[in-house]
Amino acid sequence: MALSRRDFLKNGIQVAALGMVAPSFLVKAAYAISNDPAPPLPGEHNGDVPAVPDTRSRNVLVVLQLSGGNDGLGTVIPYADPAYYRLRPHLAVPREQVLPLTDKMGLNPALKKLRDLYNAGHVAVLESVGYPNPNRSHFRAMEIWQTGRPDVNEPTGWLGRMLAGDDCEEATCRIRGLNIGSSVPRTLYTESTIVPSLTNTANYQFRADGRFNRDRQAQLDAIHDVCSHAAPGGAAEFVRQAALAAFDSSDLLQHIVGPMDQNTGANNNPLTEGLKLISKVIAADVGARVFYISIGGFDTHAQQARTHTQLMGQIDDAISGFYSTLEANGHADRVLMMTFSEFGRRVAENASQGTDHGTALPMFLVGQGVKGGFYGNAPDLGALQDGDITSQMDFRSVYSTILKQWMNVDPSRVIEGTFPVLDFVQT
Amino acid sequence: MTDADRRWTAHLLRRAGFGWTPDELDQYAALGYAGAVDRLLAPTAVDDSDTDTLVAVAGLNLDAANKIGDGQALWLLRMLYTQRPLQEKMTLFWHNHFATAIQKVQDPNLMYAQNNLFRNQGLGRFDDLLKSVARDPAMIFWLDNNSNRKGHPNENWGREVMELFTIGIGNYTETDVREVARAFTGWSADRLSGQYRFLPNQHDSGSKTVLGHTGNLNGDDVLDILAGMRETGLFLARKMWRWFVNDTPDMGGVNRLADVYIQSNHNISAMLKALFLSPEFQADANHYATVKNPPEYLIGVLKLTGLGAALHDHLTPALLTGWARATGSMGMVLYVPTNVAGWPGGRVWMNPGTYFARTNTVEGLLLQPAATTALPTVTAVQRAGGNSPAALVDATLALTLPGADPAPLHDSLITYLGSDTSDLKLAGLLRLVLSSPSYQMN
């Protein structure tokens, strides 16, 4: 099908109506930026297009993935337990350096700003989160956390399923979420969900410089036209949708993020940079509800102490900086950040002053919408299973709680089975 | 040569190599399809000294810790100019299989040595390859086997050798992981010399039980057990299927390849030959059915447009490391796989961000200094199409997407061209084709 309608705005934002309906929220957002009144969209008067809900009131979830298996015991530390010091002769953090949260548990000394947020009531620490028969393979364990299915091999991700059924119709929403990185994680994947993935906005546009500059608009029109022909299905159709999503979201993201910090690749904490980009998109309030960002390096089989301290410092800076930005912009009350990792690490250290793959571990939930505090008990290091910590709560309970209490999504639509809803969200 | 030969030879060169220059396609097609398969499978029978010379004089070096960009560039140079495309494709296949990343290995020379290991042994017997990888210093540092010592096993290699390199998850227990780790205690490498070394004092020579076999097993014994299992044949067959045929391995086809693995005494080339000659490989449903991976895209474009040939005598380190950054922006940083399982591949290559990386890379390539005269492709198109927009579009599509359905592109491209048939406009036309969803498919 060829283009049915085109709009060219004065400021250069192009909004193309592809297929039967325009990406309506994009049109509105684009006009909001241009200060021109939005023209009626096809079908808007006769009710063919469902009304776009007021996005201002909608809560946002930001997921921070700690890849490689984060050492839970070195993150939230059972500083009152002699077993911890016995099992970790080289790696244990000295008691006097731990930042106490309760009389038994405290934070890694590099998490000072997170401790301040905790003291202000904006951090929930969930202790020993896991699932039955824990898997110690990076890939399978990551898959389990990303898909929400420990029992079967599920191709789609839990966040993808949440987005796919969200009230914003698939054909009408292009920026439903945003991933920072060059490839989309399984967790955001469904056959029909396309989430923009980017590392910086400078490259997130159709470039035409030098001798092609004059020709840019003609090329854009042509490639749009090419992409408007449905492919026979399968991977080819997926590629076409991704290209369309690229065109649809590019100008909008350029305007939201602006000429920002194009050279900030030099910053040595890419996590901070990624979260800065996320905070700008959140502040622009264009309907995106899920943001995803990862940091790697947690697979500390050897010489763990230095690496882990450095990583803790990075997430401390990044999370606290992100929170401050949101607070300054007035969005801290509608953003909840969740951290997770595919597994914690073996309780006893190994001979390389590192730790091998383990099981249950703590999660952080950060935001004004959480009920701050410590959830669960100190892990019982006297009752290990195969040398690993027994889980106290199921990660699907955490997901279900976020879905129901924060995202206003029926958990049964996303999570197989029923899990207790926890009490860490302000209601 | 029949049209069918040409169509399937083009398919073969896209999958088993990194695309083709028009001349290369002619040469391989002239051998007939089966002849082309045989030629790909006998790399040492083809002289590739020109590529070796290019690598030697490229002005790239691996001696500084931050020089992995040079290592990536050297590899892309090989991919582009090699006369042994399948050997190079399998080198990438094994990098993805035995996924090792520079961050932990640190020394680019070790990554390069591992790369040569894959190149030299990637088409032979799997057992030999596996045993070399188990002694490869980059792998040893990557999976911490240098700290796997008697009485203090480090399980990293012990787990991954079964889960990711041979039999796959579900075919071993946690006890097997611990026992395999014991069998590899003392298999170490020396940071200074960059050489493998066995430390007898660190080796646990007690009795172990691995997958039902009990005895004083050492690392090689374990690798013999693993390589001899049909599960390994199945695991490799499934991966080859995803890499060469489509994203949804057909169990019938995978079982046939596993049979070949066993019957051929674990010969990788025998599996590949069976794969390329299978009806599934040459099925219409699998024609242009997978998403090109980043080197398939970048190298394919350089070959197809004639830019690779035009740049042959004008290569600079800056140009080559620029290509390495380009595949990185498309989602594949060579020597930095996503994780120990390699790159997920398939559709995951494509998202709005990587789509822009592709189209913008092409835009940059068409502006290369060496393309000061008309692009070779543009010249060829002009020769075939003259001044008729429709004929120019037809010629462009025939050259770039042989055997593909022209319908999604044809009319839009004619509209784009209008009456402007200048070199610049034809280069723009080429950019559009290379940016189309059709061309992203392999």
pLDDT tens per residue across span A314-332: 999 999 999 999 999 999 9
Mutual orientation of helices B251-263 and B268-276 as an angle, nearest 10°?
A: 140
8 Å CB contact of B290 and A211: no
Strands ordered across the beta sheet of A76-77: A76-77, A106-107, A99-100
CA B101 to mean position of chain CA atoms: 15
H-helix or E-strand containing A266? none
Contacts of A352 in chain B (CB under 8 A): 144, 147, 152, 154
The answer on pLDDT for A60 being more than 80 is yes
Instruction: Give the tens place of pLDDT for each residue, B174-225.
Output: 999 999 999 999 999 999 999 999 999 999 999 999 999 999 999 999 999 9
pLDDT of residue A49: 31
Q: How far apart are CA B291 and CA A41, in angstroms?
A: 34
Average pLDDT, chain B: 93
Dihedral angle, C-alpha B379, B384, B388, B393, nearest 10 °: -80
Query: What integer best gives the mean pLDDT of chain A?
Result: 82
Residue type, A343: F
Comparing alpha-carbon positions, the chain B residue that sits nearest to A139 is B341
Distance (Å, whole) CA B171 – CA A159: 30
Band (pLDDT 50/70/90 cuts) for residue A79 is: very high
Over its C-alpha atoms, chain B yields an Rg (Å, rounded) of 23
Is the full-model pTM beyond 0.90?
no
pLDDT band at residue A268 using 50, 70 and 90 as cut-offs: low
Contacts of A211 in chain B (CB under 8 A): 367, 424
**Is the four-CA dihedral A128, A134, A139, A144 of positive or negative sign?**
negative
Q: How far apart are CA B109 and CA A419, in angstroms?
A: 51
The pLDDT of A199-206, averaged and rounded, is: 83
Q: Looking at chain A, which residue has its C-alpha nearest residue B440?
A: A239
Packing angle, helices A304-329 and A112-119, rounded to 10: 50
Mean pLDDT calculated for residue range A239-251: 88
Q: Which residues of chain B does A189 touch, with a Cβ-Cβ cutoff of 8 Å? A: 348
Rounded to 10 degrees, the C-alpha dihedral B103/B108/B109/B112 comes to 90
Whether A246 and chain B come into contact, CB under 8 Å, resolves to: yes
Burial B412-425 (b: 16+ CB within 10 A, else e): bbbebbeeebeeeb
Take residue A412 and report the two structure tokens written for it.
């049964």
What pLDDT, on the 0 to 100 scale, is given for residue A151?
Answer: 85
Q: What's the gap in Å between the CA of B145 and the closest CA on chain A?
A: 10
Percent of residues, chain A, with pLDDT higher than 90: 59
Tens digit of each residue's pLDDT (9 = 90 or more) over B356-387 = 999 999 988 886 554 545 678 888 888 888 88
- Please report which confidence band the pLDDT of residue A46 belongs to, taking 50, 70 and 90 as the band edges: very low
Q: The complex's ipTM?
A: 0.92
- pLDDT digits 0-9 by tens, B236-270: 999 999 999 999 999 999 999 999 999 999 999 99
Q: Nearest CA to B312 among B21, B34, B107?
A: B21
Instruction: Please report the residues numbered 365 through 424 in chain B whose beta carbons come closer than 8 angstroms to any beta carbon of chain A.
Output: 366-367, 407-409, 412-413, 415-416, 424
pLDDT of amino acid A58: 79
Residue A8's pLDDT is 28
Highest mean pLDDT among A186-200, A208-222, B348-362: B348-362
In terms of Cβ atoms closer than 10 Å to its own Cβ (0-12, 13-18, 19+), residue B228 is middle
| Chain A hits for B174, Cβ within 8 Å | 136, 386
pLDDT confidence band for A47 (50 / 70 / 90): very low
Reference A115, options A98, A92, A103; nearest CA is: A98
pLDDT digit string, tens, across residues A123-154: 999 999 999 999 988 888 998 999 999 988 78
Identify the bridge partners of residue A14 per DSSP, sorted by sequence position: A8
Question: Is A213's Cβ below 8 Å from some Cβ in B?
Answer: no
Percentages (nearest 5) of helix, strand, coil residues in chain A: 40, 15, 45
